[in-house]
C-alpha cells in the first residue's frame, strides 16, 4: 500500500496496461479480462487485475499529464515490482502523414518539462521507450494484422488543440519528424529508465490539425479496441 494505491502487493501483476481514463480501465476489465477484480479505488483512479488468455494482467489508470503518470508509474515500479507498463491512450497527429484512427507506437518522447530537473537535477528533453517491449508490440501487430505507425512522439504539458495555430505550437519543438502528440509518455519513459524497468506507449490518433474528421462514438470505441487488443497481445508474449 502507498499514499496513492491501496492494493496489496500480490494484487498487482508484473505487466500493467495504463490508460489515462479510469473509466477506460473499467471498460477494459469488463470487456477483455476474465476473473478480474478491482484493486484500487483511491481518488477514483481505478485499477483492475484479471486474466487475458490465461495470463495475469493489471489495468491501472494514470490520469492526465506527466505529474499524474509519474506518481502511478513510480509507485507501481518501485513498490509493487511491476516490470512492464504499456501506456494505451489517445493522441493528436503531429504529422500530415499520420491520420485520424492511426495507431502509433512511440520509440521515444520529446518534452520541454522541468520534471527531470525537479526530480533528479538533470536536464533531459528526450527519453526512449523499451526496445524489447516495442518488439513484442510489433510482433503482436503483425500476428493480428494491425497496422502500426512507428516513430518519435511529442509529450506536451498543454492540450495542443488549445493553441492558436499549428505553426505556433510546432515552433516550440525541434524540426524533426515527430508523429503524434500526447501528454504522458515522457513521464512514463523517464520513470522506467530511472528504475531499470520497461515502458512503451501505444496511441490511437483521435484528432488532427490536418484533418477535421469528427469520430462517431462507434468509430472511437472500435479504434481504441484495436489498440487495447494489441497491447494485451503484446503483454502475453
pLDDT in tens, the chain (237 residues): 899 999 999 999 999 999 999 999 999 999 999 999 999 999 999 999 999 999 999 999 999 999 999 999 999 999 999 999 999 999 999 999 999 999 999 999 999 999 999 999 999 999 999 999 999 999 999 999 999 999 999 999 988 777 777 788 888 888 889 999 999 999 999 999 999 999 999 999 998 888 877 677 677 766 799 999 999 999 999
C-alpha cell at position 153: 512522439
SS3 content of the chain, % helix, strand, coil (to 5): 40, 25, 35
Nearest 5 degrees, angle CA 76-CA 80-CA 82? 65
Q: Is residue 53 part of a domain?
A: yes
Within a domain: 2: no
Question: How high is the pLDDT of residue 214?
Answer: 67
pLDDT score for 209 = 83
At 12-22, the pLDDT tens digits run 999 999 999 99
Q: What is the secondary structure of 153-173 as a DSSP string?
A: EEE-SS-GGGSS-HHHHHTTS
Tell me if 36 is assigned to some domain: yes
Q: Distance between CA 57 and CA 54 in Å, rounded?
A: 9
Residue 58 is part of which domain span?
Answer: 9-235
179 neighbors 94 (Cβ within 8 angstroms): yes
pLDDT tens across 108-133, in order? 999 999 999 999 999 999 999 999 99
Catalytic residue status for 97: no
Total-model pTM: 0.95
CB-CB neighbours of 87 under 10 Å: 26
Number of folded domains in the chain? 1
Q: Confirm whether 4 is domain-assigned.
A: no
Question: For residue 186, what is the domain's CATH number?
Answer: 3.40.50.1580
Instruction: Please report whether residue 139 resides in a domain.
Output: yes
pLDDT for res 1:
84
CA dihedral 176, 179, 180, 183 (to 10 degrees): -60
Report if residue 1 sits inside a domain.
no
User: Directed axis angle between helix 66-79 and helix 185-195, to 10°?
Assistant: 30
**Domain annotation covers residue 213:** yes
pLDDT value of residue 16 = 98
Q: Which residue has the cell 485499477?
A: 47
Q: Is residue 97 included in any domain, yes or no? A: yes
**What's the confidence (pLDDT) of residue 199?**
98
Residue 101, burial from CB neighbour count under 10 angstroms (0-12, 13-18, 19+): middle
Catalytic-labelled residue, pool 102, 157, 167, 207: 207
Amino acid at each position: 500500500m502507498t499514499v496513492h494505491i491501496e492494493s496489496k502487493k500480490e494484487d498487482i501483476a508484473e505487466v500493467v496496461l495504463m490508460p489515462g481514463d479510469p473509466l477506460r480501465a473499467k471498460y477494459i476489465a469488463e470487456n477483455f479480462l476474465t476473473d478480474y477484480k478491482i484493486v484500487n479505488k483511491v481518488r477514483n483512479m481505478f485499477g483492475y487485475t484479471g486474466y487475458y488468455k490465461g495470463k495475469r494482467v493489471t489495468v491501472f489508470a494514470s490520469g492526465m499529464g506527466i505529474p499524474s503518470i509519474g506518481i502511478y508509474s513510480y509507485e507501481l515500479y518501485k513498490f509493487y515490482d511491476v516490470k512492464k507498463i504499456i501506456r494505451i491512450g489517445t493522441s493528436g497527429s503531429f504529422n500530415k502523414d499520420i491520420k485520424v484512427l492511426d495507431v502509433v507506437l512511440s520509440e521515444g518522447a520529446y518534452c520541454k518539462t522541468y520534471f527531470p530537473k525537479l526530480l533528479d537535477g538533470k536536464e533531459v528533453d528526450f527519453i526512449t521507450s523499451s526496445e524489447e517491449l516495442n518488439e513484442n508490440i510489433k510482433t503482436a501487430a503483425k500476428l493480428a494484422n494491425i497496422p502500426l505507425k512507428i516513430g518519435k512522439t511529442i509529450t506536451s504539458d498543454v492540450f495542443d488543440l488549445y493553441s492558436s495555430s499549428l505553426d505556433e505550437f510546432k515552433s516550440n519543438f525541434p524540426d524533426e519528424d515527430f508523429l503524434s502528440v500526447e501528454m504522458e509518455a515522457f513521464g512514463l519513459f523517464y520513470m522506467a529508465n530511472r528504475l531499470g524497468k520497461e515502458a512503451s506507449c501505444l496511441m490511437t490518433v483521435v484528432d488532427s490539425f490536418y484533418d477535421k474528421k469528427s469520430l462517431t462514438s462507434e468509430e472511437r470505441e472500435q479504434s481504441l479496441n484495436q489498440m487495447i487488443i494489441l497491447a494485451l497481445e503484446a503483454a502475453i508474449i
